Structure 1
């Protein structure tokens, strides 16, 4: 790879990397992915993940492998790890670092000929651009993800279309949102969609929560019919919160649940706002995610801006709990 030349790092050539070594590294890559599921982007997890990333990078830069196939496998594992560590960095609010991981992952995915992973990394960059308010960049990146996925398995095409829908939602383009969401659903409805998924796409079993969050994004972008879009999101996210309430992936429950609470407040449904947010606050002490903290800040700000709720007992108590959970004074 060109990595050695571009970084100026020269590692001494050691014993050639063998197939069994790549299998051990594949297990480590999967373990880091599960760590992200459970812990998100907290700094200690991110430090560990970076150490694994640096180790694999050293193997790649040595350019010493028993066979060309082993080399391709190692480069691909490096790309997968870059995607996961980039996602963790983004969750920690370290967007510059996250982008460097994602860009490294793109180069490695391209080098290993993995169009599915290339598409996924474009999708990660799309999500990051939306988070940073760079909506036109997000649409360009989502288009690149669609192009890369064109000949890939149905679930990969579904994910690319779902990211495309999210970018259009952030832009306030309801027609684009609908069109891409329908495309995503048609791909995931393919009989072989789940069986033919890449191993790293284990989490994509349906599109309900993804679509619900996309609808909320569109509603908050003041799209035409915003209230109706927020209403549509309810039945897609609420059952998932109930099902997953006692499971370990509390980061996602808190993230999507807080957005749902914000959507209730946007529709002047204070009762549901209080009920939803209060039920989720128990997770806030265990989830260490800058992304989630930002959304908690957003809900707190929404309440602060409502003059009619300044003396409401329930709203006052929720604001107090949110400020404690989000580290606000």
Structure 2
């Protein structure tokens, strides 16, 4: 019961995070951590620490994230199934990449992938399922590792894999955000046409979604397109118009 309560509070934290209320999200995560610790279920407390590390990375506060990710991983190793451990290891890889430890980060990514392929049929705990299949979460976080070390091509490929690995009807918001991130990687590679194609796919998945993050993503897209729009590129103009209509209707 304590573990189930922890997961519920964790979900409230994630909803607050998605709404842009970061302080409230952090308070929920701390409450979730306390409940998970009291539950005594192995690995659950470390999983909440993993989430707090992810939030710190998103807020560009990496100084404490490596310690959080390492502690969470140490609490999970040998206590959880291989797929769940892969989720811990790939977030640890991201914190390593953000700390400038690129070689160690890539090694941690490979370890996470090996865990996934080595035990694809493992039954994972209910408290790790909020983001969908473990493989999708590993791909998405792997993309962030490649992004952190400047390999935008590999990042775009991993974001695409993440988007296709989740059931789109159930996880439309997350799929859309992975595609947005992939489009931004294509843009950094100066592949504007591929970026536009991917942004269109992202907006396809935003229909019916109410999320501060998706709205910000489309606003950011329009800002990124501004320098191309003045060139009169038809596919850019069409996408920008679609983005404007999306924001007007949200």
Normalised by the length of structure 1, the TM-score is 0.66
The runs of at least 4 aligned residues of structure 1 exceeding 6 Å deviation read none
Paired residues of 1:257 and 1:276 also in contact (CA < 8 A) = yes
Look up the match of 1:282. 204
Q: Is the 8 A contact 2:10 2:28 kept in 1?
A: yes
The partner residue of 2:186 within 264, 268, 271 is: 264
Q: Greater CA deviation, 177-186 or 122-131?
A: 177-186
**Matching residue of 1:161:** 89
Aligned partner of 1:199 among 118, 123, 126: 126
Give the counterpart of 2:71 among 136, 139, 144: 144
Aligned pairs (5 A) from 1:14-29: none
1:233 aligns with 2:163: no
Aligned counterparts of 1:176 and 1:109: Cα–Cα separation in 2: 29
Aligned pairs for 1:286-297 within 5 A: 286-297=208-219
CA contact (8 A) 1:76 1:109 kept: yes
The 3-state SS of whatever aligns with 1:115 is coil
CA positional deviation for 1:146: 0.8
Look up the match of 1:97.
Answer: 24
**Distance of aligned partners of 1:192 and 1:283 in 2 relative to their CA distance in 1, 3 Å threshold:** closer
Q: Distance in 2 between matches of 1:111 and 1:234?
A: 36
Cα distance in 2 for partners of 1:158, 1:179 equals 12
Shift in CA distance, 204/315, structure 1 to aligned 2, threshold 3 Å: closer
User: Are the counterparts in 2 of residues 212 and 232 from structure 1 also a CA contact under 8 Å?
Assistant: no
Aligned length: 247
Cα deviation, residue 251, structure 1: 0.5
Give how far 1:99 is off.
0.7
Instruction: Identify if the C-alpha distance between structure 1 residues 139 and 255 changes in structure 2 by more than 3 Å, giving closer, same or farther.
Output: same
Shift of the alpha carbon at 1:116? 1.6
Could you say which residue in structure 2 is the equivalent of 1:185? 113
Do the aligned residues in 2 keep the contact of 1:120 with 1:156 (CA within 8 Å)?
A: no
When residues 327 and 298 of structure 1 are mapped into structure 2, their CA distance, relative to the original with a 3 A threshold, is: same
Counterparts of residues 1-329 of structure 1 (less than 5 Å): 74-153=1-80, 154-171=82-99, 173-191=101-119, 194-195=122-123, 197-202=124-129, 205-207=133-135, 209-221=136-148, 223-224=149-150, 226-230=151-155, 232-233=157-158, 236-237=161-162, 239-240=164-165, 244-245=167-168, 247-304=169-226, 306=227, 310-326=231-247
* Residue segments in structure 1 that go unaligned for 5+ positions in a row: 1-73
In the alignment, the residues of structure 1 paired with residue 138 and residue 127 of structure 2 have an alpha-carbon distance, to the nearest angstrom, of: 20
Q: Compare 252-261 and 183-192 and name the one that shifted more.
A: 183-192
Question: What is the root-mean-square deviation of aligned Cα atoms in Å?
Answer: 2.7
Offset of residue 142 of structure 1:
0.9
Maintained 8 Å contact 2:160/2:182: no
1:326–1:169: structure 2 CA closer, same or farther, 3 Å change rule? Answer: farther
Larger Rg: 1
